[in-house]
Structure 1
Amino acid sequence: MRPRPVIALVGPTGTGKSDAAIGLARELGGEIVNADALQFYRGMDIGTAKLGVGERGGIPHHLLDILDLSEEASVAAFQAQARTAISAIQERGRLPILVGGSGLYVRAALDELEFPPTDPAVRRRLEREAADHGTAGLHQRLAAADPASAARGLDDRRLIRALEVHEITGRTFSSYMPERKYQQRSLQLGLDLDRPLLHQRLERRVRTMHQAGLLGEVERLLAQGLRDTKTASRAIGYAQFTQALDGTCTIEEAIEATTVATRRFARRQVTWFRADPRVRWFDSTDPCLVDTLSAAVRDFEGPPAT
């Protein structure tokens, strides 16, 4: 029998993807693979809206709590882990359901996406050059080596990455840009809702996180080294509540700043996923949402092949 397809449930934060995925998994015999980069981290629970074990409806969840704070999330590593988890689910005759709003991680799992190699020594040298002499020379070098990437107006981090890739591979950074081509049979289902309603929901969610103990969670993580991390310390909610603990803002100001940052993040997510014409969109307020999504998956999957 051919393996069951990969189903990806995507869209902006706050649209109910986690709950919808559980409902879908119950209906269709599925297991869930996490594609939210911050939910990889152990201890980052309240601020990432990570479902507790008792909230997962008995559905197996994969790739949650796989990193310590000191570790850096890697899209390339996630690609290998996600595909391993997906294959194992398919081998059990179950339906893999990829869930998350981290757009690049979703694409890494689904698409034929090649990641360029890295060389820490080359990167450090380029970073020192930027620190000592500025980035004007680096921009000129990139314009000569990779005009397509240079024309994108890369920030300093991506500028250095583009030069690193060209130096160690001889290929342009732009040559690694992926096509929208699935690595295997896949269906993306997008959840969205009207902006005013989404904004209200996000504000309520941030306040609920505060009531659930986000400040205490951040305090515990700071004791574990949160401040020294590159990714986790800048995560929405964690950065703002760290400022509150430092006394540079009030709790109410931290709540408001987190709400604003979350809304901006949701807009970026909508832009990312709307740019992919393969995503089929659904209203997350539909009272029959799980039935509607299940019907879409059954129609896509078709009768079992032999």
Structure 2
Amino acid sequence: DHNWDAAVEFVVNAGDQKASSLARNDWYRLKRSLEILKSTGSPPSSFRVPYDSFRDNLNSPDANDDFSENDISVQNIETDLDYDFLCFFLSSPRIDLYRSIDFRCEDMLSGADGVLSEARWLLDLGLLPNTSSATRAIGYRQAMEYLSKCRQQGGVSSPGEFYWFLNKFQQVSRNFAKRQMTWFRCEPMYHWLNASKPLDTILEFIYDAYEKEAETLVVPDSIRMNKEMRNSREANALKAYRPRNRHFVGREDCSSVLEWIRNEGCKSEVSCMEGAAI
């Protein structure tokens, strides 16, 4: 851990008490906290982000009287923002979004330069899954755990083990997208647009919104994305959702991946590169 506990204690003693709540081995945020302490003499938490003022004012009783989900009159709310912002959140209906994520996960496992190849490189560097920012990243952690197990088994993986890994990769990716949508749903500054609609229509609306600078922006029903599920049918469809792969369906479809694991995935690429350099 490169003495993580001692580093956290050092930053806490320097003045940032919240450093102790950082995710373990999140060296980027820990270093950034120390940089801010050195340059300003104050911890990051002492600085107020301008958008916080906007959100506080928008959540005040006076603002709530005039606020609706679809129409936001930003100009009527006094804020500390230095600029006027128009913020848009583009997403597809949840089922379509999940399906696209599943397909993307499949694509990341195809080819010689996919996520498994990068996971091999990280393992060859001596890194372990879930021990740093890179090895905690979605896809990398699951690929490293799967490849580590294959190495323990002498480079052997069954189709069932591969599909378990793929399913886990897809699941955590969908869960991350769900958390993102939950976060944006609570941010009233964003106008939700349905990304499944024609791209030209979406771009034309965004362009006109910036050009016209209307006091109140109204998103047309034709391109508006609903923040909440509209009915029980949609909710039941989400509960019953199951991946439908397009590349990896049967046992034979993953044979090339299993062969790569057997022939290449359990060899140390770093050792080969060092040997070539010598």
TM-score (norm 2): 0.45
Relative contact order, higher structure (CA 8 A, sep 6+)? 1
Q: Which has the larger radius of gyration?
A: 2
